[in-house]
């Protein structure tokens, strides 16, 4: 599945949010949401992005789509450097990159019928003639497994899982090459999660859709992705093949994996419980951002930032100990 | 496949569920009907006259004053009230056979009777007729003024809320400055300069009233522009105009509608107050405030001059407020599909 032709390449992406304070709204600090993130996404590839809440996963997803402006770094989509594209320049490109949101209750306009909501991107890009709009929308509804009568209904008439399908149908309407799925299943219960994940997986196989699948759930990511990228506090800790997850090198990945429950009551395993909280992105730790919680931290970790490097084939780790 | 129910139909069904909403809407419709058909309801020209074997429709000359094809040369200068009917001559008057400006010094301050339903004023003008024509003034001031300021307020508020930053700063400060003026006295002062007229009143209420609407719309836009469904539209490549007017605006209309219907009520009140103070619509044009103003001198002997216009203003304002509140509930996004 892994194709050498990159669809998306992100190089050293930095995003900081200014913190305004004081009477005249002076900038008093900066939130370091992303500090030099690099990413590579091939055609038809699913990359899973995992990390704790607040580690910059969502910011990365939105910055790639230029829904928030990057502070520094490069975003190369389809060979085009779109980093400094204006909103006007981005508009025609938007039909090739879409987003699916975490909260299915907030992602649909409560005043719009499903038919209108799904056909909106089609109307914006004038892809389908007006007469065939409805037909196309009904087709999309059936792709995501919804009944035809959804067309005239309003979002409040649907459950969370159905709404998430609607969100996916909307994202697919323009036949995008890349979909950023921003925690598409974390608001859903387990049985629905499986349906949505299988749906995304099918779409990937059928249409060769590339996915950046953001989640905080390693179990889900392992199931759907080809490659997994682990983030912590705005930095990439480890990138590896989904199949090799059990051989992860980075202490953070290892501790995350040890927290995944196993469906066997007799199973004994060593849990690595991380002490303390995620440090504030307002004032990230020096050196390796993980050193404050790392069970194996050495003196060097406090001063020197570890670079992401190839530890093994298809396994990049940012750790001094590997 | 279920039948398509448009959004407007859905709102209407929801609105119609409650009797108090129905009452409000019926009152407003009644007022509109009265205002539109006032020349037919109240006129000193008869609907129909048959005299000397010839048939006339004199009221048409009043309804179409500039038409040339309805012209009765032989009726010129005739007083229809004093016409002598012989043989099969017939005359049919409107329900209120007086014009609002028709004075009759023989009948000043006549109490309500079958001849004058709501009595007459000190010049013998029929109060019913004046009230009927006054509804035209009230409703047109209410709607045009509110129309102007809703349009202004929505556009300004939407731009401020959507773009934020400097645009928002400038607009918000401008709104605060305008809100510092005591509106009513500003209107009085401006009218003193540009002269009291119906259009000036509409214009001034229109350009001073938009701040309330703009604040509502701005606040909603600030809240909504970061919602996922708006981001989704931006991510699908829509232009700002489409995002603002098609996707965000419909979600902010509920408070605007409520505010607008309260606005119609208060604009009618302002017009009445101005007329009461003599700065409004100039006599002899009938206006509710103007009738109230006259009643001051005769309050102890002519109660009907106070009660009827007062009740008319009261009902109108209540009706618009009821409609506003009913709409607010009906536009609620958690709509039931209705029966």
Q: Choose the final residue of a domain: A175, A203, A221.
A: A175
Q: Write out chain A residues lying below 8 Å of B1, CB-based.
A: 148-149, 151-152
**Which of chain A's residues have a Cβ under 8 Å away from the Cβ of B234?**
67
Q: What is the CA radius of gyration of chain A?
A: 21
Same domain, A289 and A140: no
The last residue of a domain, from among A175, A204, A225:
A175
Q: Do residues A184 and A73 both lie within one domain?
A: yes
If you count DSSP H runs as helices and E runs as strands, how many of each does chain B have, helices first? 14, 3
On whether both A189 and A300 belong to a single domain, the answer is yes
Helix (H) or strand (E) holding A139: helix A133-143
* Residue A3 scores a pLDDT above 50: no
pLDDT of residue B331: 73
Instruction: Say yes or no: A188 and A269 in one domain.
Output: yes
The total number of structural domains in chain A stands at 2
What integer best gives the mean pLDDT of chain B?
86
| CATH number of the domain residue A73 falls in | 3.40.50.300
Token pair belonging to A105: 């209750």
Q: Which residues of B touch A97 (CB under 8 A)?
A: 235
Minimum distance, in Å, between the CA of residue A87 and any CA atom of chain B: 9
- The two three-digit tokens of residue B56, written as one number: 């006339």
Strands A227-232 and A46-50: parallel
**Domain identity same for A121 and A63:** no
Tens-digit pLDDT profile for residues A208-263: 899 999 998 888 898 899 999 999 999 999 999 988 888 888 999 988 888 887 77
Which of the residues A25, A67, A110, A126 would you substitute to probe the B interface, choosing the one with the greatest number of B C-beta atoms within 10 Å?
A110
Q: In this predicted model, which residue has the larger pLDDT, B170 or A312?
A: B170
- Tell whether the torsion through CA atoms of B225, B229, B235 and B237 is positive or negative: negative
Q: Would residue A3 count as lying in a domain?
A: no
User: Tokens at residue B215, please?
Assistant: 């604040």
Q: Residue A20 has which token pair?
A: 């305004």
Contact criterion met (CB < 8 Å) for A94 and B237 = yes
Complex prediction ipTM: 0.86
Least Cα distance to A160 among A189, A180, A200 occurs for A189
Same domain, yes or no, for A207 and A288? Answer: yes
Query: Rounded distance, CA B258 to CA B126, Å?
Result: 36
Greatest C-alpha distance within chain A: 68
Residue A58 located in a structural domain: yes
Partner residue facing A101 (CB), from B7, B228, B238? B228
Chain A residues close to B232, C-beta within 8 Å: 99, 101, 107, 167, 170
Superfamily, domain B128-335: MetI-like (1.10.3720.10)
Give per-residue pLDDT as tens, B23-44. 999 999 999 999 999 988 888 8
Per-residue pLDDT, B333: 56
- Asked if residue B3 has pLDDT above 60, the reply is no
For residue range A152-176, what is the model confidence (pLDDT) as tens digits?
888 888 988 899 989 999 998 998 9
- Cβ of residue A225 closer than 8 Å to a chain B Cβ: no
Q: How far is A144 from chain B (nearest CA, A)?
A: 18
Assess whether pLDDT exceeds 90 at residue B198.
Answer: no
Tell me whether residue A2 is in a domain. Answer: no
CA distance A218 to A253: 10
A289 and A212 belong to one structural domain: yes
Q: What is the pLDDT of residue A271?
A: 76
Contacts by B123-128, CB closer than 8 A, 24 or more apart: B125/B98, B125/B100, B125/B101, B126/B42, B126/B96, B126/B98, B126/B100, B126/B102, B127/B291, B127/B304, B127/B305, B127/B308, B127/B309, B128/B42, B128/B96, B128/B98, B128/B308
State residue A2's pLDDT score.
46
In chain A, which among 6-65 make CB contacts under 8 A with chain B? 62, 65
The answer to whether A142 contacts chain B (CB < 8 Å) is no
A95 and chain B in contact, CB less than 8 A: yes
Q: Domain of A48?
A: 8-96+176-317
Q: How far apart are CA A213 and CA A48, in angstroms?
A: 5
Chain B residues with beta carbon closer than 8 angstroms to that of A102? 228
Query: Do A170 and A280 have their domain in common?
Result: no
* A152·B228 Cβ contact <8 A: no
Give tens-digit pLDDT for B316-336: 999 998 998 888 888 765 655
Strand A210-215 and strand A178-182: pairing?
parallel
- DSSP state, B220? H
Write out the residue limits of the CATH 1.10.3720.10 domain(s) in chain B: 128-335
Report the gap between the CA of A116 and the closest CA in chain B (Å): 11
Nearest to B148 by CA among B76, B201, B221, B94: B201
User: Model-level pTM?
Assistant: 0.80
User: Considering A141, A175, A209, which residue would you say is the last residue of a domain?
Assistant: A175
Taking 80 as the threshold, does the pLDDT of residue B50 lie above it? yes
């Amino acid at each position: 599945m892994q194709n050498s032709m990159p669809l998306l390449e992100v190089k050293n992406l930095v995003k900081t949010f200014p913190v305004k304070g004081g009477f005249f709204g002076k900038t008093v600090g900066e939130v370091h949401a992303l500090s030099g993130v690099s990413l590579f996404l091939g055609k038809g590839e699913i990359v899973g992005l995992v990390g704790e809440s607040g580690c910059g996963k969502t910011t990365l997803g939105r910055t790639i789509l230029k829904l928030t402006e990057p502070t520094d770094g490069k975003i190369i989509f389809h060979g085009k450097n779109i980093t400094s594209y204006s909103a006007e320049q981005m508009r025609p490109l938007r039909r090739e990159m879409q987003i699916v949101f975490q909260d299915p209750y907030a992602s649909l306009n409560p005043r719009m019928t499903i038919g209108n909501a799904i056909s909106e991107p089609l109307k914006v890009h004038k892809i389908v003639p007006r007469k065939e709009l409805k037909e196309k929308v009904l087709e999309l509804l059936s792709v995501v497994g919804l009944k035809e009568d959804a067309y005239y209904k309003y979002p409040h008439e649907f459950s969370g899982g159905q709404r998430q399908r609607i969100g996916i149908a909307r994202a697919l309407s323009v036949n995008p090459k890349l979909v950023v799925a921003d925690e598409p299943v974390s608001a859903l219960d387990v049985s629905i999660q499986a349906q949505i994940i299988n749906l995304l997986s099918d779409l990937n196989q059928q249409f060769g859709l590339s996915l950046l699948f953001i989640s905080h759930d390693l179990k889900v990511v392992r199931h759907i992705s080809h490659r997994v990228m682990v983030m912590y506090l705005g930095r990439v800790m480890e990138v590896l093949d989904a199949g090799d997850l059990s051989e992860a090198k980075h202490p953070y990945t290892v501790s995350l994996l040890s927290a995944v429950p196993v469906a066997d009551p007799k199973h004994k395993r060593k849990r690595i419980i991380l002490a303390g909280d995620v440090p504030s992105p307002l004032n990230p730790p020096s050196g390796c951002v993980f050193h404050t919680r790392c069970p194996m931290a050495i003196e060097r970790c406090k001063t020197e930032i570890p670079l992401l490097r190839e530890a093994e084939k298809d396994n990049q780790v940012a750790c001094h100990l590997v | 496949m279920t039948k398509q129910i448009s959004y407007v139909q859905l709102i209407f069904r929801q609105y119609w569920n409650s009797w108090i909403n129905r009452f409000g809407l019926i009152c407003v419709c009644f007022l509109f009907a009265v205002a539109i058909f006032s020349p037919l309801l109240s006129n000193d020209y008869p609907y129909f006259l048959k005299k000397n074997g010839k048939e006339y429709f004199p009221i048409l000359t009043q309804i179409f004053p500039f038409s040339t094809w309805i012209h009765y040369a032989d009726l010129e200068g005739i007083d229809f009230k004093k016409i002598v009917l012989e043989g099969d001559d017939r005359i049919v008057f409107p329900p209120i056979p007086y014009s609002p400006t028709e004075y009759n010094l023989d009948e000043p301050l006549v109490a309500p009777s079958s001849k004058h339903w709501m009595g007459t004023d000190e010049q013998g003008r029929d109060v019913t007729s004046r009230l009927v024509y006054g509804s035209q003034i009230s409703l047109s001031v209410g709607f045009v003024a509110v129309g102007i300021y809703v349009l202004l307020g929505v556009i300004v508020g939407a731009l401020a809320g959507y773009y934020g930053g400097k645009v928002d700063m400038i607009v918000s400060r401008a709104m605060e400055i305008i809100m510092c003026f005591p509106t009513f006295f500003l209107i009085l002062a401006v009218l003193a300069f540009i002269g009291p007229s119906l259009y000036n009143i509409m214009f001034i209420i229109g350009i001073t009233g938009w701040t309330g609407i703009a604040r509502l719309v701005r606040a909603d836009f600030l809240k909504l522009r970061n919602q996922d469904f708006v981001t989704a539209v931006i991510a699908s490549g829509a232009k700002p105009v489409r995002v603002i007017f098609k996707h965000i605006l419909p979600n902010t209309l509920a408070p605007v509608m409520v505010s607008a219907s309260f606005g119609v009520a208060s604009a009618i009140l302002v017009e009445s107050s101005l007329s009461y103070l003599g700065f409004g619509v100039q006599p002899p044009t009938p206006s509710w405030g103007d009738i109230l103003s006259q009643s001051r001198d005769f309050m102890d002997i002519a109660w009907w001059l106070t009660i009827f216009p007062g009740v008319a203003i009261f009902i109108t304002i209540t009706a618009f407020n009821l409609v506003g509140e009913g709409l607010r509930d009906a536009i609620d996004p958690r709509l039931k599909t209705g029966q």
